[in-house]
Amino acid sequence: MDQKLDCFENEAFNRGRSLWVEAIWRLVSFIIFENSLVHPYFIKRVILRIFGASVGRNVLIKPNVKITFPWKLAVADNTWIGERVWLDNLDQISIGKNVCISQGAYLCTGNHNYKIETFDLITQKIIIEDDVWIGAMAIVAPGVVIGRSAVLGMGSMAASDLEPNTVYLGNPAARIRNRD
């Protein structure tokens, strides 16, 4: 096994910015986003825009939020991102308007190809449409589209697309009922 195992060395993976920009982001993220200190929401929105994110009006980002690559993030108006949320966006994450991502949720756009010995990184976008609620400690897997007004319940795991106006619970998330 002479091949490199560093998944970030895969030729197909594009970090999106230089290592210098990423290093600066990691420092700013640690100081402003990933700690318990309360910083004004408008400052967080401005910083994300400076680093290339598309951020709408009235986006509220609580303390202890981790965003891997802000330049691969789009968040529409009136969205709330709760404490300890991790947007592990090695690929694009698009979040619609009037969305609530509750405490401790994890949105992951990357995985590894276990079928080859180098475990190459595989990334897929996540799309969250308008009026969605992602419950506390929920997980959204790479490539998932969460339809308009869907709910992913607390502690649930979305490994496939969620239909609009529907409530999902469990691991893997199963349709429970229509959302009223």
Residue 171 near residue 152, CB atoms below 8 Å: no
Distance of CA 149 to the CA centre of its chain: 18
Q: Does residue 164 surpass a pLDDT of 80? A: yes
* 17-174 CATH, one of 3.40.50.300, 2.160.10.10, 2.40.30.30, 1.10.10.60: 2.160.10.10
Residue 166 near residue 178, CB atoms below 8 Å: yes
The token pair that represents 95 in the structure block: 């979040």
User: How confident is the model over 106-156, as pLDDT tens digits?
Assistant: 999 999 888 888 888 889 999 999 999 999 999 999 999 999 999 999 999
* Structure confidence at residue 13 (pLDDT): 72
Residue 1 or residue 36, greater confidence:
36
| Closest-CA residue to 80 (of 97, 64, 104) | 97
Residue 175 or residue 18, greater confidence:
175
Mean pLDDT within 5-30? 76
User: How confident is the model over 50-83, as pLDDT tens digits?
Assistant: 999 999 999 999 999 999 999 999 999 999 999 9
Average pLDDT, the chain: 92
Q: Which of 16-30, 40-54, 74-88, 136-150 has the lowest mean pLDDT?
A: 16-30
Mean pLDDT within 14-42? 90
Mean pLDDT within 83-107? 97
Question: Which is it for strands 174-178 and 166-169: parallel, antiparallel or unpaired?
Answer: antiparallel
Sign of CA dihedral 136, 142, 144, 148: positive
Sign of CA dihedral 175, 157, 58, 123: negative
* Structure confidence at residue 11 (pLDDT): 62
* Structure confidence at residue 4 (pLDDT): 38
* Structure confidence at residue 5 (pLDDT): 40
